[in-house]
Structure 1
Amino acid sequence: MRHKLIHEADGQKTFAIILDAGDEAMGCLKAFARDNRLTAASFKAIGAFERAELSFFDWSKKTYEPIPVDEQVEVASLTGDIAVEPGGEPGVHVHAVLGRRDGGAVAGHLNKGVVRPTLEIILTEQPAHLKKRRDHETGLMLIALED
């Protein structure tokens, strides 16, 4: 993983983060968030994975169901946010749309994605802090706007 600060103004920072073949996207994003002490950020990315695992949140069961993707795919869209979870660690939440060779797509919550050949991420850190709290109805960690 390589990264560079490409813009900074009024407390807002924008980074270009480049992942190379073999890097695991979620692990790299979590490490970047932790190492840079991110408390509120959003990001988008394009690139490709040699394999990935997505998941779908089953509302009735309140659990994520895995969606294995065991093929080379284009990352047509990857978007997410970072906010502080209880305990102070940054929580990284990512959704992805992955394009298959035949033009079909698969989408969901990104659990892991092994990059090949690259993943180009543009991440913007906000000067404000966002916190996540466990939602009692869903059991999910959601951004809480109130203190």
Structure 2
Amino acid sequence: MKSKLLETDAQGGRTYVVVFDTGEEAVGGLKAFAGDNGIEGARVSAIGALQCGVVAWLNWETKTYEPISVDEQCEVISILGDVAKGDDGRPSLHLHGLLGLKGGRTVGGHIQELHVRPTLEVMLIEAPAHLRRTSHSELGGIALIALDTG
């Protein structure tokens, strides 16, 4: 993983580009990057390609994410999401993505794993305020941004 600070705005918010290379797992890498840089509120967007990955969809009946493994080379058409401070004080990611498969098929959902090949280019734009994500037992422990906790 490589990164570059592109800009710091008047409120102190930073804009980074983070680039992952072949063989790197980007979800864990992005969490580590956010933690190492003290990022507690940011928006995320990304494009690139993967050797494999896992997305998931929320089964409302069971309140669990059901994984969908993608075990082939694919294009990252788009990943959008955010970074917030989790209940444990560490960065928490909430990412959704659409992956393009051979023959023009697509699969998408909640991003769980991204194994890069050859690159994943991530733009991370820090918010001027910190965000907090808290778990909700009535939702099976799913963590949502809590606007009243800062």
Task: Measure, in 2, the Cα distance between the counterparts of 1:20 and 1:41.
Answer: 22
Task: Measure, in 1, the Cα distance between the counterparts of 2:117 and 2:17.
Answer: 18
What is the deviation of 1:136?
A: 3.7
C-alpha offsets along residues 3-53 of structure 1, whole Å, 9 cap, x if unaligned? 000011121110011110111010111110111111101110000000001
| Match 1:144 to one of 133, 143, 146 | 146
Task: Measure, in 2, the Cα distance between the counterparts of 1:36 and 1:93.
Answer: 18
Point out where structure 2 has 5 or more consecutive residues left out of the alignment.
none
- Following superposition of structure 1 onto structure 2, how do residues 52-91 of structure 1 map, counting pairs within 5 Å? 52-91=53-92
Task: Measure, in 2, the Cα distance between the counterparts of 1:66 and 1:136.
Answer: 21
Size of the alignment, in residue pairs?
147
Point out where structure 1 has 5 or more consecutive residues left out of the alignment.
none
C-alpha offsets along residues 96-129 of structure 1, whole Å, 9 cap, x if unaligned? 1000111110001111111000001111011211
Task: Measure, in 2, the Cα distance between the counterparts of 1:12 and 1:46.
Answer: 22
Larger displacement relative to structure 2 (24-33 or 130-139): 130-139
Partner of 1:2: 2
Q: Secondary structure at the match of 1:32?
A: helix
Q: Secondary structure at the match of 2:61?
A: coil
Q: TM-score, normalised by structure 1?
A: 0.96
Task: Measure, in 2, the Cα distance between the counterparts of 1:133 and 1:98.
Answer: 28
Partner of 2:123: 122
What is the deviation of 1:87?
A: 2.4
Identity %: 46
Q: TM-score, normalised by structure 2?
A: 0.95
AA of the residue aligned to 1:45: A
- Following superposition of structure 1 onto structure 2, how do residues 97-116 of structure 1 map, counting pairs within 5 Å? 97-116=98-117
Task: Measure, in 1, the Cα distance between the counterparts of 2:8 and 2:22.
Answer: 29
What is the deviation of 1:137?
A: 3.1
Task: Measure, in 1, the Cα distance between the counterparts of 2:9 and 2:65.
Answer: 38
What CA RMSD, in Å, does the superposition of the two structures yield over aligned residues? 0.9
Task: Measure, in 2, the Cα distance between the counterparts of 1:31 and 1:13.
Answer: 16
